[in-house]
Amino acid sequence: MGSCSHSLPSFSKVLKEIKSKIRRTKSNTLNRSLPDELCHRISLTDIKAATNNFHKNKIIANGDTGFIYGGKINGGFYAIKRLIPTSDSLLPLVELRCGAEILCQLRHPNILSLIGFCDEKKEMIHVYEYVNNGSLHDNLHSQNYDPIPWKRRLEICIGVARALHYLHTGAKFILIHRDVSSKNILLDDQWTSKLCNFGFCKRGPLSLSRGTVSIEVESDITYTFACLAPEVARTSRVSTKSDVFSFGVVLFEVLCRRRVFDAKLQMEQRFLYTWARKCIENGTIYSIIDPYLKGKISPQCLKKFLEIAYSCVQYEENKRPTMGEVEATLELALELQKQEEYEMESINPQGEFICEEA
């Protein structure tokens, strides 16, 4: 098994590199607006009316690159993200161009919809569909949320798998998200998962291309280093299999309800995926599963879930499955859960599953 201590560049070094690149094109980026044919332009007057002139009482969340307001536009309630570039962080410029241009062309039930944009008077504002159940990360780790039932967790993961499968094969061009993490998975009032934050998304060749496509990037910066595929840090190249790796980390996070990185733990336990891999190999994985789920996961479902999660975080790219295979396996795991629950209820309505460790 490979070492968990990958040689990752410091965040300050990577940020310095991307700032340098952005400064060279800053004026062009600011002066260009998104194509009207791709996305709906919303006037600054309407934005200010919806947010009461960006009043603090309208703020519903603090994003990494600006404030997110809640407000009504043309009778609909939306999330209005006001991007704020500063001298210390020009990342919003990347998000404005890359993320918005890509999102304008995507339509999928498991991808957060970009409704429109505003770029008047040097403002950079995105208007998204509003989802009110927070992020998957908050639901897993915040004390303000109730534990998510197992079948619902499976359905959330299946939704994200479908979104990634669509990005890799269903759009005109191959798209690599590059920042798959529980923080970038939002949940609506029906618990439908919505993949978001396309600021670092990379476009590849036409999706008809065969095999794994590897793309060199200027920097391997992502918001979630603990989900970063090892080859990305090593070679500064990304592929669809990089997204598969990151999604595998999220699968373990969902199962164990543990943070993907915890510096307070012993060295071998700090990265969740390396610890989970070792526990699977040692037959002790059941000891680190979310206590809330114990007795609630059918043995066959758990077996399938662990098989696919383990295969996703293989260190060699060619040993990882495609997102289509991941999606199909998770759907099978859900069906096994439903089937075994039905059989269990017919025998003993109060019974619990017993999952023995290998």
Active site residues: 179
- Would strands 173-176 and 202-206 be described as parallel, antiparallel, or unpaired? antiparallel
Contact 224, 181 (CB under 8 A): yes
Rounded to the nearest 5 percent, the helix, strand and coil shares of the chain are 45, 15, 35
> Sheet of 40-41: strands edge to edge?
40-41, 114-118, 125-129, 76-83, 66-73, 59-63
113, two tokens: 């919809």
d(CA 333, CA 99): 33
- The helix or strand, by DSSP H or E, that contains position 9, with its residue range, turns out to be none
Q: How far apart are the first and last CA of the chain?
A: 19
* Separation between Cα atoms, residue 229 and residue 245, nearest integer Å: 6
Write down how long the chain is: 358
Residues 100, 105: Cα–Cα separation, whole Å: 9
Token duo for residue 351 = 């019974």
Rounded CA-CA distance 170/172 in Å is 7
